[in-house]
DNA sequence: GTATTATTAGAGTATATACTCTAGGCAGTC
DNA sequence: GACTGCCTAGAGTATATACTCTAATAATAC
């Protein structure tokens, strides 16, 4: 693998594990057993590394959230979208953690992320629209749909932060993909009142799959179930 | 005012304005025109200052979220809760921005914040319960209510981050209390489907008050409308 | 082979940051 | 007035961090 790609990969790994704030360029170089000079040959600064990682993340999500225009949505589609989005969040989980700081220190990133958000919101809204076309949820007026989409976005992007902060006091860092996907339970909770009679049971069954196993057993967490 | 209190106040102000990460203890001392030594006479370290600020924040929110047991809830109560919570978020807005890092660097804070979250979730759930008792919303089963409460919490705590990141590319820092309170619109959106016929119109009217004035005019933002 | 270009090492630097240490001032009290 | 306890100044420090510079090595082109 090219050194440049190795740097991106190692940075992502370290950022996810320890948080961007706690990972220096020297750490990254040391982790790869290359010199700082080498790292700076490939990237002008830390921001550039982060920006490259963001571009990958963006590409991934844009790929997943490509809504088919030629056919109605199915419940499988919905499941796929939810699973994919949370997979993406997991793989790039450092990103939302320090989002504000990152955007403040890089105008490019700020601009791109803003557009990215808008695309995501549009995609969510579109999914709602196609779900009502498919008879899964009742149709809703435009402005309610966009407010709902925004709430979905807020729940999705904040779910991980909630998990991390609500975790047992003794285990600061632990978090598993399984737990993260309980966010799907929360997202589907938002849709419950809008479900049509015909699909209600099916969606509720889907939601049930993601229900948190126990009400915060405080210590039973999987532990160091990190990325890899 | 005592130096100790001045330090807390100035820290809060600077943290809110520039983000905790961008404010050093030397900055705080310089801002107050006192020596670093003086600052460290009153606080052992930066974490201690942050912890003190958190205790104030906690006290404030706990005070606001004291739910009356002896009488039913009114719509005015609901408005008060929402307004107060967002006022609190505004006054201590640095806190949620760097929350994860802060909790990772101070076990005391981690533990306290976790308990704080649980109290808030309980309070939200209780508000839902009393609202259904008052006939404002339809009664819901226990576990739906708690999932809904969690969603309310997620929307509330993430709303400011959303605003900051979704803001126009050219103005990174600007944010006003008015905009922040549009979060109330989003929270009330969550409750729409559960409203009883008798209260539907009133709540919708309340919600309307917080509707974002324009769909992202991208540049019309109020600018440096900071705390003070 | 040689010239050129791309990559790498590694020592080094300027700056920042959290925090320490010593000396002294100032208020009250006897 | 001197003793005491609280407060303050300000120089100073150890460490970290992002990043640079030079020289050397590997790869490629001709």
- pLDDT tens sequence across A2-58: 999 999 999 999 999 999 999 999 999 999 999 999 999 999 999 999 999 999 999
Report whether pLDDT(A160) > 60. yes
Contact A8, A49 (CB under 8 A): yes
pLDDT attached to residue A175: 84
pLDDT attached to residue A148: 98
pLDDT attached to residue A174: 75
Contact B2, B81 (CB under 8 A): no
Report whether pLDDT(A213) > 90. no
* Chain A: residue whose CA lies nearest to B204: A144
Taking the C1' atom of every nucleotide in all shown strands and the CA of A21, the nearest one is D17
Across A123-135, average pLDDT: 97
Strand, coil or helix: what is B69?
coil
Report whether pLDDT(A220) > 70. no
User: Which residue is associated with the tokens 């969606």?
Assistant: A203
Distance B22 CA to C19 C1' (A): 17
A–B CB contacts, 8 A cutoff, strictly below = 121
CA A105 centroid distance within chain = 21
pLDDT attached to residue A217: 45
Report whether pLDDT(B226) > 80. no
pLDDT attached to residue B224: 40
Return d(Cα B137, Cα B132) in angstroms, integer: 5
pLDDT attached to residue A154: 98
pLDDT attached to residue B214: 64
Strand, coil or helix: what is A195?
strand
pLDDT attached to residue A73: 96
Report whether pLDDT(A219) > 80. no
Mean pLDDT check: name the lowest of A112-116, A152-156, A224-228, B169-173: A224-228
Provide the percentage of residues in chain A whose pLDDT is more than 90: 87
Across A147-173, average pLDDT: 88
Residue A218 — very low, low, confident or very high, per pLDDT cuts 50/70/90? very low
Higher pLDDT: B226 or A49? It is A49
Task: Write out the H or E segment, with its range, that includes residue A181.
Answer: helix A177-191
Of B107, B144, B154, Cβ closest to residue A154: B154
Higher pLDDT: B69 or B214? It is B69
How far lies B89's CA from each of A137, A139, B60, B83, B118, in Å? Answer: 34, 34, 10, 10, 17
Report whether pLDDT(B36) > 60. yes
The reply to whether residue A166 touches residue B117, judged by beta carbons under 8 angstroms, is yes
pLDDT attached to residue B116: 97
Higher pLDDT: B222 or A191? It is A191
Report whether pLDDT(B228) > 50. no
Disruptive mutation site among B151, B157, B164, B184 for chain A (greatest number of A CBs within 10 Å):
B151
Per-residue pLDDT tens digits for A84-96:
999 999 999 999 9
pLDDT attached to residue B170: 62
pLDDT attached to residue B222: 41
pLDDT attached to residue A167: 80
Report whether pLDDT(B105) > 90. yes
φ, ψ of residue B137 to 5 degrees: the values are: -120, 160
Half-sphere exposure of A22 (CA within 13 A, CB side): 15
Report whether pLDDT(A125) > 70. yes
The residues, ordered by sequence, that sit 6+ positions from B82 with a Cβ below 8 Å of its Cβ are B184, B187, B188
The residues, ordered by sequence, that sit 6+ positions from B9 with a Cβ below 8 Å of its Cβ are B1
- Mean pLDDT over each residue of chain B, to the nearest integer: 92
Distance B38 CA to C20 C1' (A): 12
pLDDT attached to residue A30: 97
Report whether pLDDT(B11) > 60. yes
Strand, coil or helix: what is A220?
coil
pLDDT attached to residue A214: 64
Report whether pLDDT(A71) > 50. yes
Return d(Cα A89, Cα B77) in angstroms, integer: 37
pLDDT attached to residue B223: 40
Task: For residue B198, count CB atoms less than 10 angstroms from its CB and return exposed for 0-12, middle for 13-18, buried for 19 or more.
Answer: exposed
Distance A112 CA to D29 C1' (A): 40
pLDDT attached to residue A224: 40
Distance A59 CA to D1 C1' (A): 79
Rg (CA), chain A: 19
Question: Chain B: which residues have CB within 8 Å of chain A?
Answer: 19, 21, 97-101, 103-104, 107, 110-111, 113-114, 117-118, 144, 147-148, 150-151, 153-155, 157-159, 161-162, 164-169, 172-173, 185-186, 189-190, 192-194
């Amino acid at each position: 693998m090219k050194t440049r790609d190795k740097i991106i990969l190692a940075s992502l790994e370290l950022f996810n594990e320890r948080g961007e704030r706690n990972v220096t360029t020297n750490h990254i170089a040391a982790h790869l057993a290359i010199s700082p000079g080498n790292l700076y040959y490939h990237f002008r600064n830390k921001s550039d590394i982060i920006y490259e990682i963001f571009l990958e993340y963006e590409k991934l999500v844009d790929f997943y959230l490509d809504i088919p225009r030629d056919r109605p949505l199915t419940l499988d589609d919905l499941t796929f979208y939810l699973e994919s989005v949370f997979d993406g969040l997991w793989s790039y989980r450092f990103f939302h953690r320090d989002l504000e700081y990152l955007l403040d220190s890089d105008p490019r990133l700020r601009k791109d992320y803003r557009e990215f958000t808008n695309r995501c919101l549009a995609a969510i809204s579109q999914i709602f629209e196609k779900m009502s076309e498919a008879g899964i949820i009742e149709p809703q007026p435009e402005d309610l749909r966009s407010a709902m989409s925004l709430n979905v976005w807020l729940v999705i992007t904040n779910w991980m932060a909630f998990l991390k902060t609500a975790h047992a006091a003794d285990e600061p860092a632990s978090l598993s993909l399984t737990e993260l996907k309980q966010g799907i339970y929360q997202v589907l909770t938002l849709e419950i009142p809008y479900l049509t009679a015909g699909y209600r049971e099916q969606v509720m069954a889907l939601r049930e799959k993601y229900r948190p196993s126990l009400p915060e057993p405080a210590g039973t967490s999987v532990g160091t179930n990190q990325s890899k």
